[in-house]
């Protein structure tokens, strides 16, 4: 079944939009069509959080709430979801939602431009967690910027929610929303608007059918990179195929040797899976963009974007990850180290898409990752380094090292790896080997960091890895 009409819930009603402009953002729709001006536009690139809204979606017949940046989300992606904006939080009689009450009580607002975004992020937290630890609060607010209140009162407001009853109006209304969302049929979406087309197939079979008939299409996953072609570069994307509704791409497979992540899995979901295998991977992901970005962005999107400073890439490279590419005929398995060809160029051919990522599990290995960025939260790295070592009896049996921000593609430090393999795990070995950074890489030089800074940081991170592992292993440092 194919439909040209998207359907979503807004204020307890199903809204239907026939052939909406696929390049239009949810923010534009909220402000211009719904005439709700509480949701603000600050940066229009996902960086400030002023445009944060909450999307309710069904998962295993349960409603989950996600904060998203409406400024970089295309309108058709709202299909089969519940849209909640700031104006919907208070009751008709004017009673504020507990999150709003807390912001008032703790003076969490001054000029108020950022406030709706903060409230919506806190609202998503309030709905998804039963307790709000300092860590949860920091993570929740990392994608919202305020230039005048200062964060302390806002954090205090968030902390005070621990004392509030979470049985709010939305809880009472949940069954009704679930019923309404279930009523919207699963179907393929195919939209035509002027010269633009948008497809959202429900299955791999339908996706392949669309691909056969439509060349020059762009794949959309979280859109945290792609949407900027419209919102920042003022371009137009004529043909989009959204991979978000393809059920077969939303899987996580765990075996004793590897975990496989389907390309439709969000970074937020992935961070909670990788945590128990590689805690450092989790720590890096927690500093990847913001919750709003990770709620929609995917590992697959990060890989295909092929940015030299893509955060997951050095980590995946040092772990010897492999990717599965769906071609028109079959699935091809490619080591990630062979995927990046030159600046933002990959092996992916027209019409091919990333099916999944396979990450080996090596419990014996020492895995560490470091992200150096100008700000701790919500910033892309200047240098990202990842180390994956097998050490036995103080001898390095395997050394896998990869860096981001050190060349036009994220890549392995092959000369250093060679020099370290079969060497003694010692300060002296690392001290000598770190100078090979200059042979392995010629760092990029841009507004984030100079090439000399990057080279120095890369060397220092090698030493950091050594000192951290040696202190943990209680190895001799000499």
Ligand X SMILES: Cc1cc2nc3c(=O)[nH]c(=O)nc-3n(C[C@H](O)[C@H](O)[C@H](O)COP(=O)(O)OP(=O)(O)OC[C@H]3O[C@@H](n4cnc5c(N)ncnc54)[C@H](O)[C@@H]3O)c2cc1C
| DSSP SS3 for 180 | helix
Cβ proximity to ligand FES, 70 vs 346, nearer residue: 70
Q: How far apart are CA 92 and CA 86, in angstroms?
A: 13
> Is the Cβ–Cβ distance between 102 and 115 less than 8 Å?
no
> Is the Cβ–Cβ distance between 76 and 187 less than 8 Å?
no
Contacted entry of ligand FES, ligand X, none for residue 318, CB cut-off 5 to 8 Å set by kind: none
DSSP string over 68-105: EEGGGSBGGGGTT-EEE-GGGSS-TTSPPPHHHHHHHH
- Select from 7, 67, 109, 217 the one that contacts ligand FES (CB under 6 A): 109
Alpha helices (runs of H) in 142-227, residue ranges in sequence order: 151-160, 169-172, 174-183, 204-213
Q: How far apart are CA 221 and CA 240, in angstroms?
A: 10
* Range in contact with ligand X (rule: CB under 6 A) among 77-85, 90-98, 251-259, 300-308: 300-308
Query: Does residue 110 bind ligand FES (CB under 6 A)?
Result: yes
- Which residue carries 């996580």 as its tokens? 252
- Select from 3, 10, 15, 41 the one that contacts ligand FES (CB under 6 A): 41
Query: Does residue 17 bind ligand FES (CB under 6 A)?
Result: no
Q: What is the DSSP letter of 132?
A: -
Contacted entry of ligand FES, ligand X, none for residue 302, CB cut-off 5 to 8 Å set by kind: ligand X
No. of helices (H) and no. of strands (E), the chain: 18, 21
Question: How many residues of this chain bind ligand FES (CB under 6 A)?
Answer: 23
Cβ proximity to ligand FES, 72 vs 401, nearer residue: 72
Tell the smallest beta-carbon distance from residue 268 to ligand FES (Å). Answer: 17
Beta strands 218-220 and 239-242, pairing class: parallel
> Is the Cβ–Cβ distance between 170 and 90 less than 8 Å?
no
- Select from 113, 151, 193, 453 the one that contacts ligand FES (CB under 6 A): 113
List the interface residues with ligand X, window 227-266 (CB under 6 A): 243, 263
Which H or E element spans position 268? helix 267-274
* Range in contact with ligand FES (rule: CB under 6 A) among 92-100, 110-118, 360-368, 396-404: 110-118
Query: Does residue 304 bind ligand X (CB under 6 A)?
Result: yes
- Select from 7, 25, 221, 388 the one that contacts ligand X (CB under 6 A): 221
Cβ proximity to ligand X, 38 vs 264, nearer residue: 264
List of residues 6+ apart from 387 with CB closer than 8 A: 318, 366, 367, 368, 369, 399, 400, 401, 462, 465
Tell the smallest beta-carbon distance from residue 75 to ligand FES (Å). Answer: 15
Query: Does residue 148 bind ligand FES (CB under 6 A)?
Result: yes
- Angle at CA of residue 275, ends 273 and 280, nearest 5°: 140
Query: Does residue 300 bind ligand X (CB under 6 A)?
Result: yes
Tell the smallest beta-carbon distance from residue 192 to ligand X (Å). Answer: 20
- Select from 7, 69, 73, 312 the one that contacts ligand FES (CB under 6 A): 69
Q: How far apart are CA 40 and CA 52, in angstroms?
A: 8
Contacted entry of ligand FES, ligand X, none for residue 154, CB cut-off 5 to 8 Å set by kind: none
List of residues 6+ apart from 22 with CB closer than 8 A: 74, 75, 76, 191, 193, 196, 197, 198, 237, 240
Query: Does residue 297 bind ligand X (CB under 6 A)?
Result: yes
List the interface residues with ligand X, window 376-395 (CB under 6 A): 380
List the interface residues with ligand X, window 433-472 (CB under 6 A): none
- Angle at CA of residue 279, ends 277 and 284, nearest 5°: 125
Q: How far apart are CA 144 and CA 132, in angstroms?
A: 17
List the interface residues with ligand X, window 20-59 (CB under 6 A): 45-47
Cβ proximity to ligand X, 220 vs 401, nearer residue: 220
Contacted entry of ligand X, ligand FES, none for residue 50, CB cut-off 5 to 8 Å set by kind: ligand FES
Cβ proximity to ligand X, 83 vs 261, nearer residue: 261
Contacted entry of ligand FES, ligand X, none for residue 98, CB cut-off 5 to 8 Å set by kind: none
Write the binding mask 322 to 361 for ligand X: x where contact by CB under 6 A, - elsewhere: -------------------------------xx-------
Burial status of residue 15 (CB atoms within 10 A of its CB: 0-12, 13-18, 19 or more): middle
Q: How far apart are CA 345 and CA 306, in angstroms?
A: 7
- Select from 114, 220, 402, 409 the one that contacts ligand X (CB under 6 A): 220
Binding site for ligand FES (CB under 6 A): 41-44, 46-51, 69, 71, 109-115, 146-149
Give the footprint of ligand X on this chain (CB under 6 A).
45-47, 72, 218-226, 243, 263, 288-289, 293, 297-298, 300-302, 304-305, 310-311, 353-354, 380
């Amino acid at each position: 079944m194919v439909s040209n009409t998207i359907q979503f819930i807004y204020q307890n009603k199903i809204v239907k939009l026939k052939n909406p402009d696929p390049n239009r953002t949810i923010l534009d729709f909220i402000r211009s069509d719904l005439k709700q001006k509480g949701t603000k536009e600050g940066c229009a690139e996902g960086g400030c959080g002023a445009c944060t809204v909450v999307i309710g979606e069904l998962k295993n017949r349960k409603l989950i709430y996600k904060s998203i940046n409406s400024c970089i989300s295309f309108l058709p992606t709202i299909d089969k979801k519940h849209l909640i904006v700031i104006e919907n939080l208070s009751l008709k009689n004017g009673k504020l939602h507990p999150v709003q009450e807390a912001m008032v009580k703790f003076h969490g607002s001054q000029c108020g431009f950022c406030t709706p975004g903060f409230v919506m992020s806190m609202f998503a937290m309030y709905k998804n967690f039963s307790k709000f630890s300092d860590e949860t609060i920091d993570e929740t607010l990392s994608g919202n910027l305020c230039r005048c209140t200062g964060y302390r009162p806002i954090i205090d407001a968030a902390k005070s929610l621990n004392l509030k009853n979470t049985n709010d109006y939305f809880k009472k209304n949940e069954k009704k929303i679930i019923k309404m969302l279930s009523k919207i049929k699963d179907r393929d979406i195919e939209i035509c608007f002027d010269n633009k087309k948008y497809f959202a197939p429900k299955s791999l079979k339908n996706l392949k059918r669309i691909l056969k008939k439509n060349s020059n299409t762009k794949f959309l996953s979280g859109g945290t990179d792609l949407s900027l072609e419209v919102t920042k570069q003022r371009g137009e994307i004529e043909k989009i195929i959204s991979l978000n509704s393809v059920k077969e791409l939303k899987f996580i497979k765990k075996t004793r040797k590897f975990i496989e992540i389907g390309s439709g899995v969000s970074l937020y979901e992935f961070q909670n899976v990788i945590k128990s295998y590689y805690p450092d991977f989790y720590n890096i992901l927690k500093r990847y963009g913001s919750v709003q970005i990770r709620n929609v962005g995917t590992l697959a999107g990060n890989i295909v974007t092929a940015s030299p400073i893509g955060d997951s890439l050095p980590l995946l490279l040092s772990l010897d990850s492999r990717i599965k590419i769906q071609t028109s005929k079959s699935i091809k398995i490619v080591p990630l180290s062979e995927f990046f060809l030159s600046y933002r160029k990959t092996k992916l051919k027209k019409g091919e898409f990333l099916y999944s990522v396979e990450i080996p599990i090596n419990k014996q290995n020492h895995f560490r990752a470091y992200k150096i960025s100008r700000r701790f939260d919500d910033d892309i790295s200047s240098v990202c380094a990842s180390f994956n070592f097998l050490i036995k009896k103080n001898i390095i049996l395997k050394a896998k090292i990869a860096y981001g921000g050190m060349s036009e593609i994220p890549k392995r430090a092959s000369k250093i790896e060679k020099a370290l393999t079969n060497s003694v795990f010692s300060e002296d070995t690392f001290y000598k080997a770190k100078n090979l950074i200059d042979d392995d890489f010629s760092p990029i030089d841009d507004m984030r960091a100079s090439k000399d800074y990057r080279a120095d940081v890369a060397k220092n991170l090698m030493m950091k890895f050594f000192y951290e592992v040696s202190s943990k292993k209680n190895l001799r440092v000499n």
